[in-house]
Amino acid sequence: MSKSFNVAVAGATGAVGVEMVKTLEKRNFPVGNLRLLASARSAGKTMKFRGEDVVIEEMTENSFKGIDIALFSAGGDISKKFRKSVVDAGAVMIDNSSAFRLDPDVPLVVPEVNPEDIAGHNGVIANPNCSTIIMLVAVAPLHRAKKLRRLVAATYQAASGAGAKGMDELVTQTRQLLDGQPIEPRAFAHRIGFNLIPHIDVFYDNGYTKEELKMLNETRKMLHDDSIRVTCTCVRVPVLRAHSEALNLEFADEITPDEARAILAAAPGIKVVDDPANKLYPMPVDATEKYDVLVGRIRQDISRDDRRGLDIFVAGDQVLKGAALNAVQIAEHL
Using H for helix, E for strand and C for coil, what is the string for 192-216?
A: CCCCCECCCCCECCCCCEHHHHHHH
Q: Check residue 90 and give left, alpha or beta (phi > 0: left; psi -120 to 50: alpha).
A: left
Please give the positions annotated as active site.
Answer: 130, 243
DSSP letter (8 states) at residue 280 = B
pLDDT of residue 164: 86
CA–CA distance from 309 to each of 28, 38, 82, 306 (Å)? 41, 46, 45, 7
Task: Give the domain extent around 88.
Answer: 5-128+324-333
The residue among 115, 109, 142 whose CA lies nearest residue 266 is 142
Q: Are residues 155 and 88 in the same domain?
A: no
pLDDT of residue 24: 98
pLDDT of residue 1: 45
Q: Are residues 162 and 272 in the same domain?
A: yes
Beta partners for 205? Answer: none
Q: CA 38 to CA 45: how far, in whole Å?
A: 10
Specify the CATH number for the domain of residue 21.
3.40.50.720
Q: Are residues 26 and 174 in the same domain?
A: no
Residues 6+ positions from 88 with CB-CB distance below 8 Å: none
Q: Are residues 235 and 109 in the same domain?
A: no
Q: What's the pLDDT tens digit per position in 195-210?
A: 999 999 999 999 999 9
Q: Are residues 215 and 292 in the same domain?
A: yes
Q: Are residues 119 and 164 in the same domain?
A: no
Specify the CATH number for the domain of residue 294.
3.30.360.10
Q: What's the pLDDT tens digit per position in 157-178?
A: 999 999 889 999 999 999 999 9
Q: Are residues 15 and 154 in the same domain?
A: no
Q: Are residues 220 and 195 in the same domain?
A: yes
Could you give the 3-state DSSP secondary structure of residue 24?
helix
- On whether the CB atoms of residues 230 and 213 are closer than 8 A, the answer is no
Q: CA 318 to CA 334: how far, in whole Å?
A: 23
Total count of domains within the chain: 2
Q: Are residues 150 and 107 in the same domain?
A: no
Q: Are residues 272 and 219 in the same domain?
A: yes
β 270-272/293-300 pair status: parallel
Q: Are residues 225 and 89 in the same domain?
A: no
Positive or negative torsion for Cα 93, 138, 310, 312: negative
Q: Which residues of the chain have pLDDT under 70?
A: 1
Q: Are residues 102 and 155 in the same domain?
A: no
